[in-house]
Amino acid sequence: MKVILISLALVSLAIFGCGSSQNTTASDSSQVISRDPAKERAETVEDEQQTAMKYRLIVSFISIGEGPDFNAKTGLDRVIADWEKQKGLILKQESFPWGREGEVDYCFQLSELNNSDQQSFINEIKSSIGTSKLVQVTENQPCIHKR
């Protein structure tokens, strides 16, 4: 009995599975669609670049088994507070935590500042961080840990 049921199921699958749900005509099968892979790749790269928002400044606090440099974080906060008070504005920042030990990226567009103020702000951030090996400063790149 089992053998008969299994046989019927296989035959049913073969009949219904092999049939096409669409009727093709001679005109459909003779149509050739040409694609240019190089053009498709270029369009894909262009789309990705447009969707990846670049930040003027990214400050990444990393860890090598001992947690991030909290003294450098205090220096970053101080510089931001001083600039906001001096310019009378709020510097928009986005933070993206990404690690188990407190690793975090602070991403700044700095659209509130003109070009020379942006560069001055970045230089001051770099000097406040000093030579810490646990802080990375990146300019004009996408924030890679943004979700």
pLDDT tens digits, residue range 2-28? 666 676 666 665 666 665 555 545 444
Distance, CA of 60 to CA of 120 (rounded, Å): 19
Per-residue pLDDT, 146: 79
DSSP 60: E
Look at residue 137 and tell me whether its pLDDT is greater than 50: yes
Domain ranges of the chain: 49-142
Residue the block writes with tokens 């046989």: 7
DSSP 107: E
Per the CB < 8 A criterion, the answer to whether 141 and 115 are in contact is no
Per-residue pLDDT, 144: 87
Per-residue pLDDT, 65: 86
Comparing 57 with 146, which gets the higher pLDDT?
Answer: 57
pTM, two decimals, is: 0.63
Per the CB < 8 A criterion, the answer to whether 100 and 138 are in contact is no
Per-residue pLDDT, 50: 44
N- to C-terminal Cα distance for the chain? 56
Q: Provide the CATH topology of domain 49-142.
A: Alpha-Beta Plaits (3.30.70)
For 16, 40, 47, 79, 100, the CA distances from 126, given in Å and listed in that order, are: 68, 41, 32, 10, 25
Contacts of 143 (CB under 8 A, 6+ apart): 53, 55, 58, 94, 96, 105, 107
Per-residue pLDDT, 3: 66
pLDDT, tens digit, 9 for 90 and up, residues 30-80: 555 556 666 566 555 544 544 568 999 999 999 988 889 889 999 999 999
